[in-house]
């Protein structure tokens, strides 16, 4: 038996989305810009990774692109000190941003699913 697949059919075989891909396609990066007082944090990417079958294995990965304080670019300082102190614990600013991110994701994307994430399920990539 011989099966003939056209190039177009072959391309579509590898384009099938998983449920996680579909959720990631719903993420609008502009929804995850955080303005809190004098602090403005803009991510360059926001995406879910892990396994939807197990809530403990779902992670929201966020790459921080820009941090402004009073309108001035303080990204390098924020990456090295304000968001990540170099220890295992997050700073207060990082925890507040992670809480904002998890609440926004639960409200916008995961509200129709039984899965919810917390601030502990957010990875900041600086």
Backbone φ/ψ region at 54: left (φ over 0), alpha (ψ -120 to 50), beta: beta
The Cα 56–Cα 29 span in angstroms is 23
pLDDT of residue 41: 95
Helix (H) or strand (E) holding 62, with range, is strand 58-69
pLDDT of residue 69: 93
Q: Are 49 and 61 in contact (CB under 8 A)?
A: yes
Q: What are the tens digits of pLDDT across the range 44-60?
A: 999 999 887 766 688 99
Dihedral of CA atoms 52, 53, 54, 59 in degrees, nearest 10, equals -10
4: which 2 tokens? 């003939």
Q: What are the tens digits of pLDDT across the range 7-19?
A: 666 666 666 678 8
pLDDT of residue 46: 96
- Domain segments of the chain: what residues? 18-125
Q: What global pTM score does this model have?
A: 0.81
Token look-up 């966020």 returns: 62
pLDDT of residue 31: 96
pLDDT under 50: residue ranges of the chain: none
């Amino acid at each position: 038996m011989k099966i003939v697949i056209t190039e177009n059919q072959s391309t579509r075989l590898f384009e099938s989305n998983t449920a996680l891909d579909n959720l990631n396609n719903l993420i609008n990066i502009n929804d995850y810009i955080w303005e809190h007082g004098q602090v403005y944090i803009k991510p360059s990417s926001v995406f879910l990774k892990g396994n939807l079958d197990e809530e403990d294995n779902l992670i929201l990965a966020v790459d921080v692109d820009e941090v402004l304080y009073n309108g001035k670019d303080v990204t390098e300082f924020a990456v090295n000190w304000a968001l990540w102190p170099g220890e295992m614990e997050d700073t207060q600013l990082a925890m507040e941003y992670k809480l904002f991110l998890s609440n926004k994701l639960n409200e916008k994307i995961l509200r129709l699913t039984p899965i919810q994430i917390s601030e502990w399920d957010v990875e900041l990539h600086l």
